């Protein structure tokens, strides 16, 4: 499948979906020193070639904001206390806008735990966190993450269109997901 970046937004953070974690899993917030856990999870899903590159990105993007990370970055742990997933309820602006929105950022579940009904509870919790600080939200993804994009659509996110490439991306996703989007 052609990999095309895309953006999605949700106009409000009311009536948020709720999903419970399966037994044996827990969600907790980031603690200072968890940078290596974040890097391990993100590297496991091929966001980075190695953990060193992931740590460098973490330091660049979040290093100055570690205090904020303690109430915005979430981890899923298995029954042994091992971190197996993460996302961050961050913030930023969409291209062409000045409004600061909440941002679902860096969603990942390590491959051996994918398909175990963990992503929806993680996303639901991150959206609850965003709702404490923001009125609306956005996220970025790509067409190759079509399963995640389908989940985001089901969580009330909508396409954010700024150019012809965006329309191409969503037409491709309509075919792959067998659903009307635009």
51-77 residue pLDDT tens? 999 999 999 999 999 999 999 999 999
Q: Counting beta carbons within 10 angstroms of the beta carbon of residue 18, is it exposed (0 to 12), middle (13 to 18) or buried (19 or more)?
A: exposed
Q: Judge whether residue 145 has pLDDT over 90.
A: yes
Q: Judge whether residue 110 has pLDDT over 90.
A: yes
Average pLDDT, the chain: 97
Q: Judge whether residue 96 has pLDDT over 90.
A: no
Q: Are residues 99 and 93 in contact, defined by beta-carbon separation less than 8 angstroms?
A: yes
Q: Judge whether residue 149 has pLDDT over 90.
A: yes
How distant is the alpha carbon of residue 38 from its chain centre? 13
Q: Judge whether residue 148 has pLDDT over 90.
A: yes
Chain length of the chain: 182
Can you tell me the distance from the alpha carbon of 15 to that of 156, in angstroms, rounded to the nearest whole number?
10
Question: Got the DSSP string for 72-140?
Answer: TEEEEE-TTS-EEEEEEEEEE--TT----EEEEEEEEE-GGGTTSS-HHHHHHHHHHHHHHH-S-EEEE
When computed from its CA atoms, the radius of gyration of the chain, rounded to whole angstroms, is: 16
Q: Residue for token digits 């992503």?
A: 119
pLDDT at 94: 94
Q: Please report, rounded to a whole number, the percentage of residues in the chain having pLDDT higher than 90.
A: 99
**Model confidence at 28, in pLDDT bands (50, 70, 90)?**
very high
Give, to the nearest 10 degrees, the angle between helix 146-154 and helix 164-177: 90
Across 155-167, average pLDDT: 97
Q: Are residues 40 and 106 in contact, defined by beta-carbon separation less than 8 angstroms?
A: no
Q: Judge whether residue 9 has pLDDT over 90.
A: yes
Q: Judge whether residue 103 has pLDDT over 90.
A: yes
**Model confidence at 126, in pLDDT bands (50, 70, 90)?**
very high
């Amino acid at each position: 499948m052609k990999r095309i970046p895309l953006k999605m937004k949700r106009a409000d953070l009311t009536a948020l979906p709720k999903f419970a974690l399966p037994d044996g899993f827990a969600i907790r917030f980031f603690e200072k020193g968890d940078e290596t856990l974040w890097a391990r999870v993100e590297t496991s899903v091929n966001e980075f070639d190695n953990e060193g590159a992931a740590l460098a990105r973490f330091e660049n993007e979040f290093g100055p904001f570690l205090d904020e990370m303690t109430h915005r970055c979430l981890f899923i742990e298995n029954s042994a206390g091992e971190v197996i997933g993460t996302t961050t309820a961050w913030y930023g602006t969409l291209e062409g806008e000045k409004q600061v929105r909440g941002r679902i950022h860096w969603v990942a579940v390590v491959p051996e735990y994918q398909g175990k009904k963990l992503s929806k509870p993680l996303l639901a919790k991150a959206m609850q966190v965003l709702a404490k600080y923001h009125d609306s939200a956005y996220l970025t993804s790509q067409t190759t993450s079509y399963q995640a994009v389908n989940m985001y659509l089901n969580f009330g996110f909508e396409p954010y269109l700024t150019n012809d490439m965006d329309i191409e991306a969503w037409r491709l996703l309509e075919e792959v997901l067998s659903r009307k989007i635009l």
